[in-house]
Amino acid sequence: STDPEKALEILDREGPFAVVLSDQRMPGMSGVELVSEVCRRHPATVRIILTGFSDMDAIIQAINDGHVYAYITKPWEPEQLKQVMKRAVEHHELTVENERLLADLRRESRFLAAVIDELDSGAIALDSDGVVRAVNRPAREYFGLDEDPSGRRFRDLLEEKGLVDVGE
């Protein structure tokens, strides 16, 4: 769309879109303002700005407010623009896939925490650095833990409870 307000309407109605490519100078709204709004409404959409002007303040604002992926000055080479767009789409696909994998991991983690909590004996899951990743109900009761110690070093937890010998 040549109208930034219409572009936002299209994004809201027909999105998600992988990439938004915007000119910096448009009627009614600058490219920075547009990509900032796109960032707010559709954070996974990759944002690119084209400009014929080397306005350093606009570049900085685009980076800070709009989290732009690329800022391309005119005139550009068509092949260069194609490559930037291709990389932007790939970046979007990776971002979306990472978000999906993180959501899956969180879901599985909650499931495992629920399962481990139902065990009759105490269980503590530690990573290779000795950091607590999960503690079930019987173990929390045994150690007198009111809070979930996940993310803390197991050794520090034992020291607090005066149980260093248990760790040995």
* pLDDT, tens digit (0-9, with 9 covering 90-100), for 26-52: 889 988 899 999 999 999 999 998 887
Confidence at residue 54, expressed as pLDDT on a 0 to 100 scale: 65
For the chain, the residue count is: 168
User: pLDDT, tens digit, for every residue of 17-26?
Assistant: 999 999 988 8
Nearest to 113 by CA among 94, 139, 91: 139
pLDDT under 70 in the chain at which residues? 53-56, 58, 61-62, 64-66, 167-168
Nearest to 45 by CA among 70, 65, 20: 20
- Whether this model's pTM surpasses 0.95: no
Contact 78, 52 (CB under 8 A): no
3-state secondary structure of 163: coil
Phi, psi for 21 (deg, rounded to 5) = -110, 120
CB atoms within 10 A of CB 7: 19
Alpha-helical (H) ranges within 42-145 are 56-66, 78-117, 137-143
